[in-house]
A and B are shown apart, each in its own frame.
Chain A
Amino acid sequence: MRQELIFTRFERFWHWAQMLIIFALLLTGFEIHGSYQLVGFNKAVMVHNICAWSLLTLWVLAIFWSATTGQWKHYLPTSNQMGDVIRFYLFGIFNGEHHPYRRKRWAKHNPLQRLTYLLLKLVLMPMIWGSGLFYMFYSVWMGQGAHPALPWVANIHVAGAWLMLTFLVAHVYIITTGPTVGEHMMSLLTGYGEVYDDEDEKKLEN
């Protein structure tokens, strides 16, 4: 076990920028939704649109980065140790057990994380930006009359927003379950975290 750079500068930038943007999107999105009045509808729409484009740009960058660096492999789902991890969060954690997963350089996320982040990237985010793009460009596809699909597009987008908020709450909580409350968060700030040696590492790198 050793301290090593697990989150590169780009990853850290990407993560925190995404956090800020999504926070702004949630805040303005729910104002547009009519849940409350905060910055004013017109400003909310403008900020939401700017943030939406920023987020899309960021995603494109991140996808490019993951693809070219091979980092996408961290998100491949696996059932290996999944049961252990779930059991740990449900029971073991209360009995002073150690986290069963040993982070490796080429498998920095535990199986539960892998699955969650994969679902986030493959389901929730496409759901949000897909519906968001349809929403944004409704005048292109709706034709001349009002299109009955618009409420569906909006509802899918809103459903995505609720799911995103739910994820964020859980995500922020789980961050605190490291060896110390702040450890996970610190490693995303400094980039360094504990890594175990991995026999398969050589094979994976090829």
Chain B
Amino acid sequence: MVITKKKSVDRRTTPIRLFITKTSRSLLKGTLAGLLATASLAVASTADHSEFKVLQGTFATGPDVTKACLECHTEAAAQVQKSIHWNWKIDPAKDSREPGKDNIINNFCMAVRTNEARCTSCHAGYGWKDDKFDFTKQENVDCLVCHDTSGEYSKFPTMAGHPNYTPKEWPPKSGKIREPVDLAKVARSVGESSRDNCGSCHFYGGGGDSVKHGDMDSTLSKPSFGLDVHMDADGLNMTCQDCHTTVDHITAGSRITMNARDMNGIDVPGHEFGGRATCESCHDSDPHKDGPAPLLNKHVAKVACQTCHIPEFARDKKTKVAWDWSTAGKSKETLKDEEGNITYSPKKGDFTWQKKVPPEYAWFNGKMNYTLIGDKTEKNAEGVVELVKLEGSAADSGSRIWPFKVMRSVTPRDPETGQMIVPHLFGKDDAAFWKSYDWQKAAAAGMKAVDQPFSGKVEFTKTTYLFPITHMVAPADQALDCVACHNRDNSRMAGIGGIYLPGRDHSEWLDRIGMLLVLMSILAGIGHGLLRYTRRTKGGQL
């Protein structure tokens, strides 16, 4: 975790805490940016955690720190235990078919199950190393990963969410030693979550910086105005929670529960509080004020703000756009590109990285149908398994055109059952793929662990996985130009059906007939004129 702030100050940077009544709504509309800018003052907390008695002395483990936190914050762990950060799905019921990190199959490391100890280094808890983890134990909640302001706390990559308590080598066989975290010091410097707290997991999704989302990576730690107008470190400097408003440790906004078209407009605190995770929450649904504002505002009903205002993602750092697992284990040599991104890893196969990626677009009503463990999959006409299927259409009022990062991978599938394989990748046992590089064994172990049938056959299939793009909002003058979509030959909306788009669409036959009519009248004029000219000697009228 890279944290630059020194003091444990509670930052109160947002309009969340500004008392805004419904009557001042119109004022808010026009001047939100101004309010935000002036509200960007660090307000000191009324509590200095370094003074607290329970936090003096030393702590042996993370859970020991949590116990101390809970002495005063008696409800905190219970709140966290209701959150998606804890349960990794919206509905924590054990057999729930609601999607979550816990049961979704993606095309990065495919699935969490049987690989917990590695994956849960990004769990807001301690000790989730297999399916026997106790989700009710309060001291298992990790307060520090979200609330450390010293920048010194970090979880060890393979210890099921614990930081290392003794010196340990990482990466393996690198000779580099990670010193244990000074838990006491970290415990005494807790405060409100910063971008880096969230970023310690969310920037590194998929196992590394900028791998997964494309619109979230470490460049958002201190972004420029050009990269992100909201989080601009020298400007608004907004934190994640300024939009992902968090109440009782429940965070608003998630790609699992998307709101593709917010009809609520501005969410005024104290009146219509439902979280501020949509653009409309602050900008309202007629956000454009200058230039051809009425025309632009008409787009709001059908086009997500992000579609024009995030013309490219991964603008400062490459993101992974393709991952071929079929080549994993075939060579022993790790390859890197000129920026140091791994392009081949013996454990993971081939990667493709891309910077300044233009998103792909689709109608979207907020519902993403994920492939869950146990789901049978089908290949589409191109032989690709779409792991995420979007809902939405032009005809539906709740749908808008949204931008997506499309991840294109080659991942293992059982050709007999049609299920995507949940491979057992991580572990010290012989079946783990990263131990013995045997897909058959890894698949058998993984599928058995999740109680799913396995035919014994593994095929490698092209798969796609989707992320809605919503971060890295570009400065207004860099928003997509009209002609990027309103043109015939390379419209960004080329694949968007169900609407008539001026400039992109036209009737070929109508234009042909029209052209013919015009041509005929030109020819008639020329013919008539020539005849008049050649016979003008006859006298009279021309």
A interface with B by C-beta (< 8 Å): 32-35, 37, 40-42, 45-46, 49, 89, 93-99, 139, 143-146, 150-151, 154-155, 158-159, 161-163, 165-166, 169-170, 172-173, 176-181
Contacts and interface: CB of A to CB of B under 8 A. Distances in A.
Size class of B's contact patch? 35 or more
B540 interface: yes
A139 to B, nearest CB: 5
A41 B514 contact: no
A175 to B, nearest CB: 11
Contacts of A49: 295
Nearest to A167: B521
Nearest to B517: A166
A37 B484 CA distance: 12
Given A146-B394, A169-B525, A34 B506 contact: yes
B514 A98 contact: no
Given A95-B535, A176-B529, A169 B292 contact: no
Given A151-B507, A165-B518, 14 more contacts: A32-B502, A34-B504, A41-B486, A42-B483, A45-B482, A49-B295, A94-B538, A95-B540, A144-B301, A146-B394, A162-B515, A162-B517, A169-B521, A170-B521
Contact of A169 (B396, B505, B522, B531): B522
A139 B542 CA distance: 53
B512 to A, nearest CB: 10
B499 A146 contact: yes
B488 interface: yes
B263 to A, nearest CB: 10
Interface string B496-516: 001110111111001101110
Contact of B532 (A34, A94, A146, A162): A94
Contacts of B515: 162
Nearest to B399: A145
Interface string B395-415: 111000000000000000000
B394 A145 contact: yes
B487 A34 contact: yes
A41 B487 contact: yes
A93 B531 CA distance: 9
A40 B274 CA distance: 40
A144 B398 CA distance: 8
Contacts of A165: 514, 518
Contacts of A146: 302, 394-395, 498-500
Contacts of A145: 393-397
B517 A163 contact: yes
B524 A170 contact: yes
A134 B298 CA distance: 14
A40 B541 contact: no
B539 interface: yes
Nearest to A138: B298
A42 B481 contact: yes
A94 B498 CA distance: 54
9 contacts: A34-B505, A42-B292, A139-B298, A143-B397, A154-B505, A162-B511, A169-B525, A173-B528, A177-B532
A16 to B, nearest CB: 21
B535 A40 contact: no
A-B pairs, top 5 by smallest CB distance, nearest first, are: A162-B514, A144-B397, A96-B540, A173-B525, A146-B394
Contact of B301 (A99, A139, A155): A139
A94 B531 contact: yes
A20 to B, nearest CB: 20
A170 B525 CA distance: 7
B521 A45 contact: no
Contacts of B502: 32-34, 154
A158 to B, nearest CB: 6
A140 to B, nearest CB: 10
Contact of A151 (B396, B482, B505): B505
A84 B258 CA distance: 73
Find the residue from B394, B502, B518, B521 having the highest chain A CB count within 10 A. B502
Contacts of B531: 94
A178 B542 CA distance: 7
Contacts of A139: 298, 301
Contact of A177 (B514, B535, B542): B542
Nearest to A89: B528
Given A45-B295, A94-B535, A162-B517, A177 B541 contact: yes
Contact of A150 (B499, B503, B538): B499
Contacts of B532: 93-94, 177
A46 B294 CA distance: 11
A173 B531 CA distance: 13
A99 B302 contact: no
B541 A98 contact: yes
A172 B540 CA distance: 21
Contact of B500 (A96, A154, A162): A154
A40 B504 CA distance: 14
A154 B503 CA distance: 11
Contacts of B295: 45-46, 49
A13 B17 CA distance: 61
A19 B514 CA distance: 20
